[in-house]
Structure 1
Amino acid sequence: MVNGLTFAGRGRKRGKGATMSTSDTRVENGSGQEIMKRIDWRPAPVSDHEFDADAAIVRPYAWTRGRTKSTVDLRIEVMVSTSELGEDIDALPQIEHRSVAELCAEPRSVAEVATMLAVPLGVAKVLLGDMAGLGLVIVHKTATGGANKAHLRLMERVLSGLRRL
């Protein structure tokens, strides 16, 4: 008995802490008699419209065929740009490659590509690695020197991005 209520037939736990679909509860009606009331704990049914909208979404890891590692070592700060071979966007067979080729028309970092595609960083690395292997994108070397122009340009882009936040 809890707070004047007796719970009989508690359901087993399923999944993420959900209880069985129904349970019996003893409650007191207005005249002082104890009656049994059946409580339904099932979630409301989901409409077909909601299922159709979700079915159109392709999970990011389906783009990489389940792979989580790239054959090319890409750090998040590495700049990539579309190569001459990748500029013919209509000739690219995969829609993901088309999206990346459009984004990388100007040099972008791996992190920027992941953010703009709204995919996890690992997925972006695999896509870019595949495209680099096919010659569709150029992977630029990272800046190592102190006075390197590419390094300065990268820092300016990072600062500009931070200001936009």
Structure 2
Amino acid sequence: MTRMGESWFDDAAGPLVRPYAVTRGRTMGAAHDLDMLTLVVTVSPLPRLRHIEQEYADIVQLCRTPQSVAEVSAHLNLPLAVTKILVGDLITDGLLNFRAPANSDADNDTAGIGDLNILRAVLDGIRKL
């Protein structure tokens, strides 16, 4: 129980607004297939922002320089799934341009030699733990 005038939550409690509230209950974004490595940047000149939620304005401000979707998520302290939906909305509205990562071809089942070296390095690091 809290006494009169005491705060009923603290900083460790985290956000009081659930992620699905930010996306208005949506779990799927627009038709854009966004990877966490997809780069997004605001267009120039910047059209008028149609959304009133602060997260949209924050994304537009942050993306004045190219950012990956993962970076946007980290900077705004939002889950990646929520960030993908919000970024997708801004792409649909014409406020952001995006570029998928070079090696995001889902039909490519063969790993390049560079990919294999990275996987070996990760495996070695895990073994050292």
CA contact (8 A) 1:132 1:138 kept: yes
Deviations 1:121-162 (A, max 9, x none): 000000000111101111123224xxxxxxxxxxxxxxxxxx
Change (3 A) 1:87 1:108: farther
**Deviation for aligned residue 1:116:** 0.5
Letter in 2 for 1:114: S
Structure 1 pair 109/62, CA: closer, same or farther in 2 (3 Å)? same
Among 46, 50, 53, the residue aligned to 2:7: 50
**Identical residues among aligned pairs (%):** 35
How many positions carry a matched residue from both structures? 98
Q: Does 1:95 align with 2:51?
A: no
| CA distance, structure 1, for counterparts of residue 80 and residue 64 of structure 2 | 19
For 1:105, which of 64, 69, 76 is the aligned residue? 64
Q: Secondary structure of 1:75's match?
A: coil
Report what 2:96 is aligned to. 137
Q: Tell me, what secondary structure is at the counterpart of 1:50?
A: coil
Residue segments in structure 1 that go unaligned for 5+ positions in a row: 1-44, 145-165
**Does 2:35 correspond to 1:75?**
yes
- 1:28-67 to structure 2, matched below 5 A, reads 45-47=1-3, 49-51=6-8, 57-67=16-26
Higher strand share: 1
C-alpha contact 2:37 2:100 (8 A) present in aligned 1: no
Q: Is the radius of gyration larger for structure 1 or structure 2?
A: 1
Maintained 8 Å contact 2:23/2:86: yes
Report if aligned partners of 1:85, 1:135 keep a CA contact under 8 Å in 2. Answer: no
- By relative contact order (CA 8 Å, sep 6+), the higher-ranking structure is 2
CA contact (8 A) 2:35 2:100 kept: no
Contact 1:86 1:101 in 2 (8 A): no
**Hey, what's the Cα distance between the residues in 1 that align with 2:23 and 2:8?**
24
Cα displacement string for residues 20-76 of structure 1 (whole angstroms, at most 9, x for unaligned residues): xxxxxxxxxxxxxxxxxxxxxxxxx1345424778x843332110011111221000
Q: What amino acid does structure 1 have at the position aligned with 2:60?
A: A
State whether residues 40 and 96 of structure 2, in contact with CA within 8 Å, keep that contact through their aligned partners in structure 1: yes
